[in-house]
């Protein structure tokens, strides 16, 4: 089991929950944490070139969001800009390089949540919106709704002035070859769908940020799971499962076998554990991922941060593409287990 916490003793939430928002605000260190998916990510399966490519892209994503936070921009601005960097890269299962459905198509899901207002937006099953994360944000900011799907979401995105592309924009040859292989394996096996998953590499991207105002935002963008059936929607666009943010507790973005994250309301459960049991972010992520999700047979992980800038990254897979940056520090990037 893998769990990393990056917190100062003075920032430990459990130490003093009674500080006024003013005091908290003074102590807020801008912080940004990202993931590029969890799964069977092991050093022996990576070439040095591949490893370097991931490291460079994760660093570019981190620095994009961090620069905005340094300029005083909102956590939501940082989250969407960071995720856009990863959506444009074929290294991840989001935007370009998204995985393929059973019918050989790319159908994308994304969501955002603003921890300062409790507002959220999501799109599901879209295939012509260049940046699904921007569409999720537009749903939140420009509609009275939380989630839109398929052609309706695409029409909405067009009307909102977002960039529309041909579905072939998302195609990546390497990903297509992976799809053909997985499809063949799954068709051969009796318990088809589930059995290939212990070895599966999830490539969803996510970001959680804490800005200088002390506001938390979270977002997640994905192509879903390889060989998913028609119309299947995973956890990534589901508020409370794939994404959650609440200034009072934490922001969370998930990656993993979505059905388990939905059934166990993973992202919200972390925040609820903190709120109702008054436990720290690290304790909450450990309990929810290391205990609950694992006992249920689910695989994957989360990135999370709290209002004091404590970061927790917890996963039960071999590895997870991940990184974080805190005010005044160098970016930290990791891929493999502890």
Of 120, 101, 124, 123, nearest to 112 (Cα)?
Answer: 120
* Segment interacting with ligand ASP, rule: CB under 6 A, options 42-50, 155-163, 202-210, 274-282: 202-210
Angle between helices 132-142 and 150-159 (to 10 degrees): 80
Query: How far is residue 223's CA from residue 127's CA, in Å, rounded to a whole number?
Result: 10
Binding mask 11-40 for ligand ASP (x = CB under 6 A): --------------------------x---
Catalytic residue among 31, 82, 196, 204: 204
Active-site annotation holds for 101: no
Binding mask 139-178 for ligand ASP (x = CB under 6 A): ----------------------------------------
Asked if 224 is part of the footprint of ligand ASP (rule: CB under 6 A), the reply reads: yes
Query: Considering beta carbons, is residue 107 or 154 the nearer one to ligand ASP?
Result: 107
| Residue 231 in marked binding region | no
Angle between helices 75-87 and 48-70 (to 10 degrees): 160
Query: How far is residue 94's CA from residue 106's CA, in Å, rounded to a whole number?
Result: 10
Asked if 125 is part of the footprint of ligand ASP (rule: CB under 6 A), the reply reads: no
Asked if 251 is part of the footprint of ligand ASP (rule: CB under 6 A), the reply reads: no
| Residue 251 in marked binding region | no
Q: Which of 111, 196, 204, 299 touches ligand ASP (CB under 6 A)?
A: 204
* Segment interacting with ligand ASP, rule: CB under 6 A, options 56-64, 155-163, 181-189, 197-205: 197-205
Asked if 92 is part of the footprint of ligand ASP (rule: CB under 6 A), the reply reads: no
Q: Which of 97, 115, 214, 234 touches ligand ASP (CB under 6 A)?
A: 234
Query: How far is residue 164's CA from residue 145's CA, in Å, rounded to a whole number?
Result: 21
Asked if 235 is part of the footprint of ligand ASP (rule: CB under 6 A), the reply reads: yes
Q: Which of 7, 215, 222, 247 touches ligand ASP (CB under 6 A)?
A: 222
Asked if 236 is part of the footprint of ligand ASP (rule: CB under 6 A), the reply reads: yes
CB 133 within 8 A of CB 87: yes
Asked if 202 is part of the footprint of ligand ASP (rule: CB under 6 A), the reply reads: yes
Q: Which of 7, 74, 82, 93 touches ligand ASP (CB under 6 A)?
A: 93
**Which residues are catalytic, by number?**
204
Residues in the annotated binding site for substrate: 232-235, 255-258
Rule CB under 6 A: which residues touch ligand ASP? 37, 93, 202-204, 222, 224-225, 234-236, 255-256, 258
């Amino acid at each position: 089991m893998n769990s990393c916490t990056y917190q100062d003793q003075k920032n430990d939430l459990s130490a003093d929950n009674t500080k006024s928002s003013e005091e908290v605000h003074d102590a807020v260190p801008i912080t940004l944490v990202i993931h590029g998916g969890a799964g069977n990510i092991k050093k022996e399966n990576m070439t040095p070139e591949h490893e370097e490519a991931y490291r460079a892209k994760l660093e570019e994503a981190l620095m994009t969001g961090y620069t905005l936070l340094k300029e005083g921009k909102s956590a939501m601005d940082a989250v969407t800009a960071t995720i856009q960097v990863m959506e444009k890269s074929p290294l991840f299962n989001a935007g370009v390089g998204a995985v393929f459905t059973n019918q050989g198509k790319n159908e994308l899901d994304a969501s955002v949540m603003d921890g300062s207002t409790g507002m959220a937006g999501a799109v599901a099953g879209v295939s012509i919106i260049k940046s699904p994360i921007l569409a999720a944000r537009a749903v939140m900011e420009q509609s009275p709704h939380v989630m839109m799907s398929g052609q309706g979401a695409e029409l909405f995105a067009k009307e909102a002035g977002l960039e529309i592309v041909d579905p072939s924009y998302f195609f990546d040859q390497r990903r297509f070859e992976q799809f053909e292989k997985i499809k063949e394996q799954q068709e051969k096996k009796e318990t088809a769908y589930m059995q290939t998953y212990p070895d599966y590499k999830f490539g969803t991207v996510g970001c959680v940020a804490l800005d200088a105002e002390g506001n938390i935002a979270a977002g997640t963008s994905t192509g879903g799971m390889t060989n998913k059936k028609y119309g299947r929607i995973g956890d990534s666009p589901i508020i409370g499962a794939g994404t959650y943010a609440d200034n009072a507790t934490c922001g969370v973005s998930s990656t993993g076998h979505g059905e388990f994250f939905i059934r166990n309301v993973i992202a919200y459960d972390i925040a609820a554990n903190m709120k109702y049991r008054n436990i720290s972010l690290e304790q909450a992520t450990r309990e929810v991922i290391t205990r609950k999700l694992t006992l249920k047979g689910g695989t994957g992980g989360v990135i999370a941060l709290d209002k004091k800038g404590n970061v927790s990254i917890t996963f039960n897979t071999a590895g997870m593409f991940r990184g974080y940056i805190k005010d005044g520090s160098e970016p930290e990037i990791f891929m493999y287990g502890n």
